[in-house]
A and B are shown apart, each in its own frame.
Chain A
Amino acid sequence: MTKTLLIIALLAFSCVTSIIVALSFGAISVSFSDVVYALFPSLSEQTVDPIIAQIIVELRLPRILLALLSGAGLAIAGATLQQVTRNPLADPFLFGISAGASFGAVVVLSVLTNIAIVWLPIGAFIGGLLSITMVLFIAGRSTYQQIERMLLAGVACSFMFSAATSAILYQSDPQAAASILFWTLGSFSQAQWDQLLWPTIIIGTSIIAFFAYSRQVLAISGGDENATTLGVSVSKVRLLMLILSSLICAVIVANAGGIAFVGLLIPHVVRLTLGQRMLNNYVIVALLGATFMILIDLAARTLIANQEVPLGIITSAIGSVFFLLILKQRRQY
């Protein structure tokens, strides 16, 4: 128990530190003290340069908060899905959400060219929901072989929407194709304060629901029959968890594009370093996911001067190497 609290305290500290570091670095470097004073003006007698303050509060902070929400949301969604499907490869994106969202975005960008770009997140959100609705419809309510049906339907829907996306892209002009490519690789560069509302509401409520159902999810991870004898409505809980994970993913994809690997990587890091039982400790999973995402976004902004590296490239590159190293070290797992 005390060990768990220690881990949480350590992770919370790293999360706060990474926020401050991420606020201070960028095209213009700002000292840590100026970062703190810009956030809490009442702490200091002297005022921070208003341009610096604006960069911190209006540009970097919303971006970092979106990264924090996305990292926490994807990590928790991945951890929950890995438990309810008892499949270590389960990841929110395995269920066709990103393919569906890309499809929605492509439709907005190239077919409905005359409407404003603000519709892109909405198109992506609807596309993601369309895909997950199909998966849920095929998976059905019966417990028998539900997991297999879910996973296979997810893979099939992914391919279907990818095919449609490719077909539309093939017909459209190169500029639309380039912007779609950048979007599918993910970026928080568009983050603004007024854009944070829906991600906060959806990810926040989903995380609360995940906490509420954590005992049931733990029981399902020990087998469907095991959970049934403990009074858990297995099929209902599993579908609810899938719907919540999908909402999280759809809202993240809509606002920041496809951020690969985080939902898969963070639960595995927790599982391999702290043990599978910590997968059910959503505070740890969320803090780790948030910290990771903030640091990845920092790298995306600062790796190459004056240029954004798409998030998906960094998450996939760092994630895959890190994954292989952990697996190599923990062979006995």
Chain B
Amino acid sequence: MSSIIDVRQLSWHINNKIILDDISFSIEKGKFVGVIGVNGSGKTSLLRSLYRVITPSAGNVSLNGCDIWQQSAIDVAKQVAVVSQSNAPMPYQVKDVVAMGLIPHKKLFENTKASDHALIKSAIEQLDLTDLQNNDFETLSGGEQQRVLIARAIVQLGYKNSLDNQLLIMDEPTNHLDIHYQIDLLKRVQQLGCSVIVSLHDLNMASACCDEIILVDNGKVVIQGSPQEVLTPARISEIYQVNVDVIEHPQHKRPHLLFSESSNHD
């Protein structure tokens, strides 16, 4: 199976501070990959360098076999959609925000056609936003806003395309959501059918949802592997500086971490 994204010796430093340090990994098409690590470990910077906002100091990132910096911003945007944390206020109707997914596909004077409206409508229906489509995006709850941005990503990636060769990148989408919406959101993303890279704080959520986990620490990739391979008590207690016990989750049989205060149980 071919890879959706290949990262080779990626480094990024700013003002002599190394943020990303010689990172290499590949992600196979269709995988759901979680990026975990403590605050300031470089998770967000790593994701931003994958979607062409951070220009790396060294190394390269290939998307579907082509270097992202050899492609135009528009061509990358046709293959990668992003649900990030850093949006300015968008006081627009939900359907206007979803329609923004058309932007990379539209020429300067091109109108929104009937087929585009159909795509927008189906994305809105898929994320159960039909009742909210005329509401102001800014008045929605955090979970609803995330669903709108995912609907936008469906329009952006699904425009005259199947989602197989497409990538969705999400930066801590479950922040500030209660547990119902966290699970609901990640379930919906799993069902999309595209490759997904998502940074997560909740290690148990990562264990339950991800095919693969990439653990980042101090700007380096510590390990990439299945939840069983990555989430071992020794590794997690060392990196997160907490006391960890791992049990098998009764339903999905994956690792489930139990934390207690300090790490003095060596």
Contacts and interface: CB of A to CB of B under 8 A. Distances in A.
A61 to B, nearest CB: 31
B262 interface: no
A86 interface: yes
Interface stretch (B5-13, B98-106, B122-130, B205-213): B98-106
Contact of B84 (A216, A226, A231, A233): A226
Given A229-B80, A231-B74, A222 B87 contact: yes
Interface residues of B, number: 35
Chain A residues touching B, range: 20 to 34
Given A231-B74, A277-B96, A225 B86 contact: yes
A140 B86 CA distance: 23
Q: Is the interface of A mostly helix, strand, loop or mixed?
A: helix
B160 to A, nearest CB: 15
A221 B90 contact: yes
B108 interface: yes
Contact of A277 (B80, B84, B92, B156): B92
A213 B77 CA distance: 17
B96 to A, nearest CB: 6
Given A225-B53, A275-B91, A230 B84 contact: no
A283 B225 CA distance: 54
Nearest to A234: B73
Contacts of A41: none
A233 B73 contact: yes
A232 to B, nearest CB: 7
A230 B88 contact: no
A223 B86 contact: yes
Contacts of A229: 51-53, 77, 80-82, 84
B78 interface: yes
Given A215-B103, A229-B82, 9 more contacts: A215-B106, A219-B100, A219-B103, A222-B89, A223-B87, A226-B87, A229-B52, A229-B84, A277-B93
Interface of B: 48, 51-53, 72-78, 80-82, 84, 86-93, 96-97, 100-104, 106, 108-109, 136, 156
